[in-house]
Amino acid sequence: MTPTRFDVRIRLLSPMLIGGGRSFGTFNETLNYLPGGALRGAVGALLAESSQHARHRDDVPQANCSFCEIFNAGNEPIFENLYPSDLGSVTHPLPFTAHTCKRNPGFLVAKPQRRESHGAYDTLIRAYWFEQAMRNRWRVPFVRELHCPVCSEEMKPYDGFYGEGDLKYHRVQPIQKRISRTAINRKRQVAEEGLLYTLEVLDSKVKAGPLFLSGSVWADAEKAEILKRGLEQITRVGMGKSRGLGHVQVEILAQTRSHLGSLRERLDQFNQAMRAEAEFYAHVAGAPPLPSDEWFFSVDLLSDALLTERGVPTLRLCPEMLGLEGANITLERWWVKGRVAGGWFAAARLPRRTQLATAMGGAFLYRVRGTPMDAVITQLEAFEQRGIGQERARGFGQVVVCSPFHLEVL
């Protein structure tokens, strides 16, 4: 059965502490987004409590148990990560190939501020072809350096989240602040000496107004209605709920407008840009022309991914993991970082085992030889929907093929 998608938007009514960040003694950091696993745990706890699931065995599905219908009947729903959004639009993490001016960073805006931004650009397409020129020793009459096209200042990597803005894109930057608290002596009911701690939290507002966290859930049609009712009843998310943190309002939306467009359009536009760059090197450096039966596609990680190759954790998304049988695909280039992924298993009240994860923002470039685009486009669409790697139900392994941001060529 084909799963249906519905969008979830959470409005913060109080500061929120999202576990998963680093801890240094009495100081705890927060994540700047809500992992799908956290939302899954919140709705799971609510459904378990409302259907009295804890009174019977977990491994035996019970009649009229909403929790069992959702989580014990196989084909679990997929909870995608929820990313900060100030305008209610769909937001994505910036890929590791994104760069911006070091002196005047940021996307172009319709109403320039005192310090006008010089724009954000992507380096994937031009970096790949320049590396091809160096590897094949083409006679390139220039040296490629990253400089701002406006002021010629050096460029720097640009991270965070972006969505649709006044011109084309805008950056979403949640405000993080720190609050200090002290532990209470339970016997004397006074502040405990020497137990001062500091929490980093997401503020409930940004410069443009209230802060929202937006994402999607994939589920079978019969499960979707139960999940919608459960999600709308959630009032607290994250850590520190007893300290007044994490008060939220959850809304279920129709599918929001996305800047991605159809996959076919994205593939065509991406390959037009790749061929234009290849023709440039053929003109200035005498590079061989790109064969007509070859084409490219990119895969960006919208969330951390738990990847394994022959049972061993890896950071690379190998062609064999794509499931495109019969297609001659090679992994040409990848831009990735590793991180340690863990979490909290609310049902067992135990921490989850830590694993090596490929961090969100990773980008992979593939070349296809001799296989028509129409032969694999359906598989690529399913690939975007189901994700990659392990623990996809908890939000890991979300991907997008040929992100339009890669067309913002530097």
165: confidence class by pLDDT, cuts 50, 70, 90 = low
Q: Are residues 150 and 293 in the same domain?
A: yes
Q: Are residues 61 and 187 in the same domain?
A: yes
Q: Note the pLDDT of residue 63.
A: 58
24: confidence class by pLDDT, cuts 50, 70, 90 = low
When pLDDT is averaged across residues 285-311 and rounded to a whole number, the result is 93
The pair of structure tokens assigned to 111 is 């109403």
When pLDDT is averaged across residues 91-111 and rounded to a whole number, the result is 89
Residue 168 counted as domain residue: no
Task: For the chain, state the CA radius of gyration.
Answer: 23
Q: Note the pLDDT of residue 255.
A: 62
When pLDDT is averaged across residues 117-144 and rounded to a whole number, the result is 91
When pLDDT is averaged across residues 319-344 and rounded to a whole number, the result is 86
Q: Are residues 269 and 341 in the same domain?
A: yes
Q: Are residues 334 and 376 in the same domain?
A: yes
**Single residue among 253, 278, 311 that ends a domain in this structure:** 253
Residue 58 counted as domain residue: yes
Q: Are residues 199 and 323 in the same domain?
A: no
**Single residue among 253, 270, 298 that ends a domain in this structure:** 253
When pLDDT is averaged across residues 196-207 and rounded to a whole number, the result is 82
- The amino acid at residue 13 is L
- CATH number, domain containing residue 390: 2.60.40.4350
* Residue pair 45/234 in contact by the 8 Å Cβ criterion: no
Q: Which domain holds residue 29?
A: 4-90+174-253
Average pLDDT score, the chain: 84
What proportions of the chain, in percent to the nearest 5, are helix, strand and coil?
A: 25, 35, 45
Q: Are residues 318 and 391 in the same domain?
A: yes
When pLDDT is averaged across residues 153-167 and rounded to a whole number, the result is 84
Residue 386 counted as domain residue: yes
Is 135 buried (19+), middle (13-18) or exposed (0-12) by CB count in 10 A?
exposed
Q: Note the pLDDT of residue 74.
A: 67
Q: Are residues 248 and 180 in the same domain?
A: yes
Cα–Cα distances (Å) from 43 to 174, 250, 272, in that order, read 24, 11, 44
241: confidence class by pLDDT, cuts 50, 70, 90 = confident
**Single residue among 253, 274, 292 that ends a domain in this structure:** 253
Q: Note the pLDDT of residue 25.
A: 61
Instruction: State the Cα–Cα distance between residues 246 and 370, nearest whole angstrom.
Output: 52
Instruction: State the Cα–Cα distance between residues 22 and 42, nearest whole angstrom.
Output: 22
Q: Note the pLDDT of residue 20.
A: 73
- Count of the separate structural domains present in the chain: 2
Residue 184 counted as domain residue: yes
Residue 374 counted as domain residue: yes
Instruction: State the Cα–Cα distance between residues 216 and 231, nearest whole angstrom.
Output: 12
**Beta partners for residue 357, in sequence order:** 339
Q: Are residues 385 and 308 in the same domain?
A: yes
When pLDDT is averaged across residues 32-61 and rounded to a whole number, the result is 73
Q: Are residues 265 and 385 in the same domain?
A: yes
The pair of structure tokens assigned to 132 is 């091809």
When pLDDT is averaged across residues 65-91 and rounded to a whole number, the result is 78
Give one word for 15, left, alpha or beta, with left for phi > 0 and alpha for psi -120 to 50. Answer: beta
- CATH number, domain containing residue 52: 3.30.70
Instruction: State the Cα–Cα distance between residues 79 and 81, nearest whole angstrom.
Output: 7
Residue 28 has pLDDT above 90, yes or no: no
Residue 166 counted as domain residue: no
260: confidence class by pLDDT, cuts 50, 70, 90 = confident
Residue 394 has pLDDT above 80, yes or no: yes
Least confident of 268-277, 285-294, 345-354: 345-354
Sign of CA dihedral 382, 384, 390, 394: negative
